[in-house]
Amino acid sequence: MKQIVILHLDEDSGIELVSFLGQELQIRRLGCAGDVARARALIEEYDGQVDAIGLEGMPAQLQLGPARRAHETGAFIPVVAEATPVVDGSGIRAGLERWGVILADRAQPGIFSQKRVLMVPGLNHAGLAQALERRTSTIRYADPMIFFGLPGFPGVGSRQTLEQAAPPTLEQLKDAPFEQLYPQPNGTPEGRAASAFAWADIIAGDMGAIRRYAPESLKHKTVVVECANETDLDDLRQRGVTIVVTMMPSLDTSTAGGSLGRWSAAAVEAALVALRPDPAKPLAEDTYLDLLAEIEWMPAIRTLQPQEQGINRFAFVIHPLDIRFIHQDRRFSWTRYLPDEIVERTAAYMPPMYLSRITGGQSPTTGQRIEGHLISLGATPRQMMTQGERFTYNKLNQAARMAERRGARIMGLGAFTSVVGDAGITVAHEADIAITSGNSLTVAATLEAAKQAVINMGATDLTKGKVMIIGATGSIGSVCSRLLAQAIFDVVLVSIEPERLIELKRTIQTETPGAKVVIATRPDEALPTCDLVVTATSAFGQRIIDISKCKPGAVICDVARPPDINKAEADLRPDVLVIESGEVLIPGDIDFGYNIGLPPKTAYACLAETALLAMEGRFEDYTLGRNITMERVKEIYRLFKKHQFQIAGLRSFGDYVTDEIFAEKRALAARYRQEPELFAQVQADAAARLAKMPVMAKGVKARSGPNPALLGGAVAAVGLLGFLLGRRRAVE
């Protein structure tokens, strides 16, 4: 049986038998309490008696970034050995840390992505810092705080700054006592720089230093260390740490599935030295690599807070639909005293803002829990159109990084963010997180809501009705058209793109033989004969339809966000029902943590699709681009049913449509059909009043251009918003 001795900085001792790389291995742990003379005496005692000796917390060399410096005492200790190899873990630590980060990321995707990392310390953890640096943009080093009690950091995500700071740091540590280099957790806690720990999402480094210097509260943090024991986990659990990851393999591979990585790099290296097939082989990287390749291992990932275990996370992006949404936010209520145009333009340049955590979602079918994060851009739809595609793409990429930092693995594009440019394709290509526009479920929910509305308005046979889709060649409109043609065989397609209308008509006639398909660039001529009108445009400053021309008792389903039709227009025809696109009830005790403009527990279908994909564990780019497939719509509807999502009550301009309202509209429509002269007068009155209303769509009036006289105040508005934003960042 191979035997190794591990000398460490504590005083406890013990012997343990493990099975590693198919062989039995005896590990004798001996404490020397940091006494150099005692360590040298123990090495002399066991020299030639064991196969390897590991020095735990007594490094021969110091490394911070690319800088290296021999530790005068650490380099002096091993030289007393004449026969037995003495190692300190430096031969395998960096490689295993890099490998461990890769394996942990595969096991729990996104665990490190875009997180704020605090190295506690970075000293002798170059591999860990390098691997984490590839997955995040911000790494800070707490080495000055740990070793010298200083408040600053020798690097803020900058390798150049670290290179400049490392050499003097190492020079000052060349003869530092081991207890200073590797603080032991059983010492007196000395909370230092609590704000640095509060800033971080991930605290990486040595368990002893973290336990000694971290504050009592470490809620929602992830701790990444070389090794840990159950006492360490208990301490971190009490502090609120969510996840602990250990980078070193377990030396007891006989345990099914492996176990907690409780052995140091020095112990692992000593074990590899003892078990190498050829004792004459040099203690070099290649020798270790051949042995490491035989280990079947994964870094141990322990979730310490049971309530955090097994939650799938998503994010969803919203934005102000018009200037009123900015005024209504209590943080920016003061902007109502500034010219709207200046506020709207200035807000568009603000970085994405974190709004709230969405909690309580759970599938009744599988029990899978979900949690979401609501993020807002500052731009209104008009500003997105004005600024250009790249402008919005950049903001969405920022939002995606925010989402990743909070553990989300899929992000949904709400409202106009799913319309700009190529409808999510570029964002999905550039972001590391999965992206969906949510439009597949939007289509399915819209059709279900429209069906319910038409039936409630008195239709008995949908196949004998007539439907118009305005914006038929858009991403939502085209698939709606194809699916509606399979249920209502008389279809009118309206779009400002004639060539795409022709292609869509041919597609529908191929898919649904016998369907009657009419195409037009304007809705006016066919509008009076349609029972159902679906509007799904991205138009601004236009009148989408002349509601005065609608058929008695017609249903208009306004899918667009912001809506195509305003309440003042709808009120001109009290017999016509204008409903919002299908909204969704997410199962569970859902709480959005923010007023998204809907009743409690009610979500827009695009948000619900993102939540549904998270609940199903489908972290993939799902609905992207303008060619939504019917297969995706049908699949998402099956998942909708599987997890018991529901269509919310039908609403019209924010209010639920009650049975009494349906009855009133049905009665009024019946009267208009029976009294043509009365109906003609109603239409004429409605047309006259409509002509006096401002022409608009999406709540935006038609106008020729911006008012140059207002631009002078933009600097002041930008300054005020920048000041508030700076304060918000300081708080974060």
Give the pLDDT confidence score for residue 673 in this predicted structure: 94
Give the pLDDT confidence score for residue 187 in this predicted structure: 67
Q: Which range is least confidently modeled, 235-239, 365-369, 386-390?
A: 386-390
Cα-Cα end-to-end distance for the chain = 55
pLDDT of 283 higher than 90: no
Q: Which range is least confidently modeled, 98-107, 109-118, 141-150?
A: 141-150
pLDDT of 607 higher than 70: yes
Burial class (CB in 10 A: 0-12, 13-18, 19+), 524: exposed
Domain ranges of the chain: 2-87, 313-436+588-647
Per-residue pLDDT tens for 620-647?
999 998 888 889 999 999 999 999 999 9
pLDDT band, residue 475 (cuts 50/70/90):
confident
Give the pLDDT confidence score for residue 668 in this predicted structure: 96
Number of other residues whose CB lies within 10 A of the CB of residue 113: 20
pLDDT of 547 higher than 70: yes
DSSP states of 466-504 as a string?
A: -EEEETTTSHHHHHHHHHHHHHSSEEEEE-S-HHHHHHH
What average pLDDT does range 519-534 have in this prediction? 94
Give the pLDDT confidence score for residue 281 in this predicted structure: 79
Q: Report pTM.
A: 0.80
Per-residue pLDDT tens for 46-78?
999 999 999 999 999 999 888 899 999 999 999
Give the pLDDT confidence score for residue 714 in this predicted structure: 37
pLDDT band, residue 509 (cuts 50/70/90):
very high
pLDDT of 137 higher than 80: no
CB of 594 closer than 8 Å to CB of 374 = yes
Give the pLDDT confidence score for residue 253 in this predicted structure: 58
What average pLDDT does range 280-305 have in this prediction? 83
Give the pLDDT confidence score for residue 699 in this predicted structure: 54
Q: Please state, rounded to an integer, the average pLDDT across all residues of the chain.
A: 87
How far is it, in rounded angstroms, from Cα 73 to Cα 36? 8
pLDDT band, residue 149 (cuts 50/70/90):
confident
Give the pLDDT confidence score for residue 5 in this predicted structure: 96
Number of other residues whose CB lies within 10 A of the CB of residue 390: 11
Percent residues over pLDDT 70 in the chain = 91
What average pLDDT does range 128-142 have in this prediction? 90
Please report which residue ranges of 64-155 form alpha helices under DSSP H. Answer: 72-76, 93-107, 126-133, 143-148
pLDDT of 95 higher than 70: yes
Q: Which range is least confidently modeled, 97-111, 532-546, 710-724?
A: 710-724
CB of 356 closer than 8 Å to CB of 298 = no
pLDDT of 728 higher than 70: no
Q: Helix 630-642 to helix 439-456 angle, to the nearest 10 degrees? A: 80
Between CA 520 and CA 529, with CA 524 as vertex, the angle to 5 degrees is: 95
Per-residue pLDDT tens for 551-583?
999 999 998 877 888 899 999 999 999 998 788
Give the pLDDT confidence score for residue 396 in this predicted structure: 95
What average pLDDT does range 534-560 have in this prediction? 88
CB within 8 Å of 91: residues ≥ 6 apart: 269, 283, 284, 285, 288
Percent residues over pLDDT 90 in the chain = 64
Q: When comparing pLDDT for 242 and 144, which is higher?
A: 242
